Structure 1
Amino acid sequence: MAHVEAQDLGVRYPVLTASARSLKNQILSRTTGGRIAGNSARAVEVQALSQINFLFRPGDRIALIGHNGSGKSTLLRVLAQIYHPTEGRLLVQGRVAALFDASFGMDMDSTGYENIVLRGRYLGISRAAIEQQIEEIAAFSELGDFLKMPIRTYSAGMVARLAFAISTTVDADILLIDEGVGAGDSAFMAKAQKRMQELIERSPIVVLASHDRKTITDFCTRGLVLQSGRLLFDGNVRQAYEHYDEIVGAAVAGEDAASGTVQARRAAGTGR
């Protein structure tokens, strides 16, 4: 039976070119959401994830919720086994399919038909299975004779449409979706939404990272709230958003208070 379990999972990135006490550290900390620390060799490390614990079972539809740099994309890539934990353990049982950059693995000089095979193989689909689905993918993409042409002749929307059509043919026990997966122009979106729903329904475990609340509440029932690489909440997706909104509200209030203090000091210093 498919499942994913994290036990005190952590990921550290070494930053070998930064000084242990530099302005660059502060910038890295803010932009990555991680914590910067100098080790005994004075090398700098970013703690991207720290002490993450969860268990995913069949039927789980999980949303990763958090601001940019909170650790969502890092966690997705650990689940996809692109990154490896530096602390704790990750146990994955089942076939994993990752839909991140939808156009990754496509060759701009190859035709649309050739890219169906290339992209399918990148996703781990067998050659025989891809060939059985070529006509269905072609029909769904609505690209017609353009599929006989190199995709460098396509518009960005046409490339996205073809990539989406290929990517959503996968069958997996554990489906990982990043918000970067696009479907092209707006006229194609309703059709793409239905196809994505079908993909999610046939996948035992789904993990989705997105800033779009409607997408998350439409597809997910469970939410994991991440902040600075730590898991702060794991539960019902609507309660997860309530928890996240409290965090955001507290952060905004703190910034406003700090701004007010600075302005008061400036006024006092100038006699106002």
Structure 2
Amino acid sequence: MSSLSASPESPAPVVVPTDPPYAVRVENLSITYRTTFERKPTLKQALVRFGRGQRAVREVEAIKDVSFDVRTGTALGIIGSNGAGKSTLMRAMAGILPPTSGSIEVWGKASTLLALGVGFNKDLSGRENIILGGLASGLSRKDVEERADDVAEWTELGEFIDMPMRTYSSGMSARVGFSVAVHMKPDILMIDEALSTGDAKFREKANAKMAELRQSARAMFLVSHGLGSIKEMCNEAIWLNQGQLMMRGEPEEVVNAYMRFVKVKRTAVTDEDI
């Protein structure tokens, strides 16, 4: 934010607030987490420990010195193989995971329903989880209740919306999660694999809604193995591999480079499944 000062002889200037040109800035970001696994014991160790294995600690570098910025109005696709660090990066930008080193600046409120359905209470109904999701997004209870019926109707789940979510299929849960994420009007929309579940009709409807949100959100981030969706919905893309930023550019260019890297021939199937 810039500030202006005026001399005593002149009237104070009118300062017109302007939106910052960036939605997100990531600088030298690294994220390392620790995980444990069961190490296979030797015969002697097994006898000493009565057959029990030994817990070993391993450090995993999920993100390695990644830097990029995202200007307002950008729809950024994030691609890469499983374990590339895509979801870790999204969670860090949403404020869920803290950086090990480096920094992340976010201008505006980011959606937090990344893996659709994660964080829902499976014993509650879809409608009740819509209210919880809205509250988690920072809306007041009044605002959430005003939107809950519209969100529930948008899912097209009919009477299932009032049944416990433990009875839902993965596609039904995805509908609820996606509906909450896009109807709570976040400044920055972050969707992780939103279009990978559900039937063709729902995917088409979700595509249309995301295209609409591109016009109002400060920025949109989409993680997906559906490369066709990345090219259709995004105007920029980045490619991660083993936690490192390999490339950034136009979606078509980045997708083609990624496919050459993984040595997969381009077909209608691979455009949606890599």
- The equivalent residue for 1:131 is 145
Q: Which amino acid aligns with 2:225?
A: H
Structure with greater helix share of residues: 1
TM-aligned CA distance change 1:208 to 1:161, over 3 Å: closer
CA shift for structure 1 position 154: 4.5
CA shift for structure 1 position 167: 2.5
- In structure 2, which of residues 76, 101, 108 is the aligned counterpart of residue 94 of structure 1? 108
- In structure 2, which of residues 31, 39, 46 is the aligned counterpart of residue 11 of structure 1? 31
Alignment pair present for 1:122 and 2:122: no
TM-aligned CA distance change 1:139 to 1:78, over 3 Å: same
- In structure 2, which of residues 205, 215, 219 is the aligned counterpart of residue 201 of structure 1? 215
CA shift for structure 1 position 100: 1.7
TM-aligned CA distance change 1:157 to 1:59, over 3 Å: closer
CA shift for structure 1 position 168: 1.8
Q: Which amino acid aligns with 1:4?
A: V
The more displaced of 192-201 and 49-58 is 192-201
Secondary structure, counterpart of 2:204 in structure 1:
helix
Are the equivalent residues in 2 in contact too, given 1:164–1:182 (CA < 8 A)? Answer: no
Are the equivalent residues in 2 in contact too, given 1:77–1:83 (CA < 8 A)? Answer: yes
Alignment pair present for 1:109 and 2:123: yes
Are the equivalent residues in 2 in contact too, given 1:65–1:210 (CA < 8 A)? Answer: yes
Q: Which amino acid aligns with 2:65?
A: Q
Alignment pair present for 1:172 and 2:172: no
Alignment of 1:32-51 (within 5 A): 44-51=58-65
Identical positions, percent: 35
Are the equivalent residues in 2 in contact too, given 1:164–1:181 (CA < 8 A)? Answer: no
Q: How many residues align?
A: 228
Ranges in structure 2 where 5+ consecutive residues have no aligned partner: 1-19, 40-55, 265-274
| Alignment TM-score, normalising by the size of structure 1 | 0.74
Q: Map Cα deviations across residues 31-50 of structure 1 (whole Å, 9 max, x no partner).
A: xxxxxxxxxxx964222111
Q: Which amino acid aligns with 1:112?
A: G
CA RMSD of aligned residues (A): 2.6
| Alignment TM-score, normalising by the size of structure 2 | 0.73
